[in-house]
Amino acid sequence: MNKLVKLFITSISAITLALVSFSSSFAKVEGDYIVLGSAISLTGKYSSNGVHTQNGYNMAVDRINKMGGVEVQGKKYKFEIIYYDDESNPKRAAQLAERLIKQDGVHYMLGPYSSGLTKAIAPVTEKYKIPMVEANGASRSLFTKGYKYLFAVLSPANQYLEVAIDLAVEKNGGKGVKIAQAFEQDAFSQDVRLGILDAAKRTGSEIIIDDKLPKELNDMAATLAKVKATKPDVLVVSGHTKGALTAIRQISEMKVDVPMLAMTHCDAAKLSKQHGKKSEYALCASQWHKNLSYKDKFFGSGKKYAKDFQKEFGYDPPYQSAESSAALLVFKDAFERANSFDRDAVRDALVDTEMQTFYGNIKFGPGGQNVAKPMILFQVRCKGDDCENRVVAPTKWASDKFYHPIPKWSERS
């Protein structure tokens, strides 16, 4: 009996102790720190972009903390982020979001990498009314669900390649063009496709090939043979990095001549590095480029950001890093305007966001998407074997002229 009582007392005290330590971590703001949470892909198939995202977040946290932090009610606070590895798995990401909110007491979230994972986390943050600023989920369906606590600093997926169709029509003297398109069957690529359908309708263009690429895509020879036979004015391909690399490999091998080739994920695929000259003239959609003329007081300009990032992490920042850094700037701005740590006050402040960052203008539409920043297009251009991405549209930021039409393979050296 005595033993049982002892056991009882021990377990009670253990539970109490656990509860005490549990509740002490139940604070969104600890001392001088505002704690943000993020589930991020550090392993698994998204790990490289996950790391780009994390580096972007970390860079901004360092910079904001160094430059005085966030001022709320006269007191200066610093940012701190709790990260968990979601293993590139949506289910795991949703679990981790729950854990961040319920166990770690996080009241403000930063997004994961990719549309799929953001989709998995958004219902959780919405349920607990946790404001989430995300920088890597572009799928249109994220912004049509009526989420009130989701804010995306990037342009939605359907805008990725619309500009390319406009450009093709412009080059065709305002007349509609013939479009061949091949998209992977995932949420993001299908959203890009919807954008093209809209643009085709708007410009009176005709879609002559509309292929859906399987997820385990590694061969698009059939699509390209059809392109060769039907001679469209534009070929549009979107299938993440694998799609971009496969397309360039097979277009060059099969000597497919199209006047214009538009794609997504060129910089993530390191297209110009992996395929060199073969990727020349490819037109690529991008959220950001370092040469754009946006400015802010934390990072200065895009060029300065790229330089600092290179110094810190040893590689040129892809747009995934830049947009992630921008997410922190948005949070800082919202906290200061809300002048409070009340979640709803912060959420309301986020709704009213209207600012310029080195990454671009940010203003959230009713669905939470950024409506103030256009997508840009760059074209791969080579000098000898050295290839780089040059901005060609929109004209306001174009550093180079858009090269059209793409020379035939027989004329390319």
Partner 1 sequence: MDFLIFKAPMLMVQASLDGILLGILFALIAYGMALQWGVMNIINIAQGDLVILGGYIAYTMYLAGIHPAWGVIVSPIIMFFVGWALYKLVINKVVDRDLFISILATFGIAIVFQQLMNFIFGADVVVAQSEYGTTMLFDNSVTLPNSKIFSAFISVLYAVALVIYMKKSKLGRAIRATAQNARAAKILGVDTEKVYAATFGINAALCGIAGALISITLTLHPYVGLPYTVRSFMIVIVAGLGNLPAVALSGMGLGLFEEFADYILGTEFRIGAVFMLLVFILVYRRFKLSKKREYLK
- Local structure of residue 86 (DSSP, 8 states): -
DSSP alpha helices (H): ranges in 290-385? 302-313, 319-338, 343-351
Tell me the two tokens of residue 70: 């966030």
Does position 382 interact with partner 1 (CB under 8 A)? The reply is no
Segment interacting with partner 1 (CB under 8 A) among 32-40, 116-124, 196-204, 250-258: 250-258
Segment interacting with partner 1 (CB under 8 A) among 23-31, 214-222, 351-359, 381-389: 214-222
Does position 300 interact with partner 1 (CB under 8 A)? The reply is no
By the 10 Å C-beta count (0-12 exposed, 13-18 middle, 19+ buried), 6 is classed as exposed
Does position 114 interact with partner 1 (CB under 8 A)? The reply is no
Out of 92, 107, 275, 347, the only residue in the binding site for partner 1 (CB under 8 A) is 275
Does position 206 interact with partner 1 (CB under 8 A)? The reply is no
Segment interacting with partner 1 (CB under 8 A) among 73-81, 212-220, 332-340, 375-383: 212-220
Which CB atom, from 20 or from 229, has the smaller least distance to partner 1? 229
Out of 82, 254, 345, 382, the only residue in the binding site for partner 1 (CB under 8 A) is 254
CB burial readout 319-358, b (16+ within 10 A) else e: bbbbbbbbbbbbbbbbbebbeebebebbbebbeebebebb
Does position 245 interact with partner 1 (CB under 8 A)? The reply is yes
User: Alpha-carbon distance 52 to 55, whole Å?
Assistant: 5
Number of residues that bind partner 1 (CB under 8 A): 41
Q: How far is CA 104 from CA 29, 36, 100, 285, 306, in A?
A: 11, 10, 5, 38, 33
Which CB atom, from 54 or from 353, has the smaller least distance to partner 1? 54
- Helix crossing, 47-66 with 319-338: angle to 10°? 40
Pairing status of strand 33-40 against strand 75-85: parallel
Q: Which of 130, 197, 132, 123 is nearest to 160 (CA)?
A: 197
Closest contact distance (angstroms) between CB of 287 and partner 1 is 19
Paired with 387 in beta bridges are: 382
Out of 221, 304, 315, 336, the only residue in the binding site for partner 1 (CB under 8 A) is 221
Segment interacting with partner 1 (CB under 8 A) among 139-147, 159-167, 268-276, 374-382: 268-276
- Is residue 326 a contact partner of residue 364, using CB atoms and an 8 Å limit? no
Count the Cβ atoms, other than its own, within 10 Å of residue 23: 10
Does position 316 interact with partner 1 (CB under 8 A)? The reply is no
User: Alpha-carbon distance 394 to 111, whole Å?
Assistant: 28
Out of 78, 145, 212, 412, the only residue in the binding site for partner 1 (CB under 8 A) is 212
User: Alpha-carbon distance 54 to 44, whole Å?
Assistant: 15
Beta strands in 345-385 (DSSP E): 354-357, 360-363, 376-383
Which CB atom, from 166 or from 257, has the smaller least distance to partner 1? 257
Closest contact distance (angstroms) between CB of 276 and partner 1 is 8
Which CB atom, from 101 or from 247, has the smaller least distance to partner 1? 247
Which CB atom, from 45 or from 401, has the smaller least distance to partner 1? 45
Q: Which residues ranging from 173 to 192 are in contact with partner 1 (CB under 8 A)?
A: 182, 185
User: Alpha-carbon distance 292 to 322, whole Å?
Assistant: 12
Segment interacting with partner 1 (CB under 8 A) among 228-236, 338-346, 366-374, 393-401: 228-236
Segment interacting with partner 1 (CB under 8 A) among 41-49, 167-175, 310-318, 387-395: 41-49
Which CB atom, from 58 or from 279, has the smaller least distance to partner 1? 279
- Is residue 310 a contact partner of residue 317, using CB atoms and an 8 Å limit? yes
| Residues lying near partner 1 in the complex (CB under 8 A) | 43-49, 88, 182, 185, 211-214, 216, 218-223, 225-226, 228-230, 240-242, 245-246, 249-250, 253-255, 269-270, 274-276
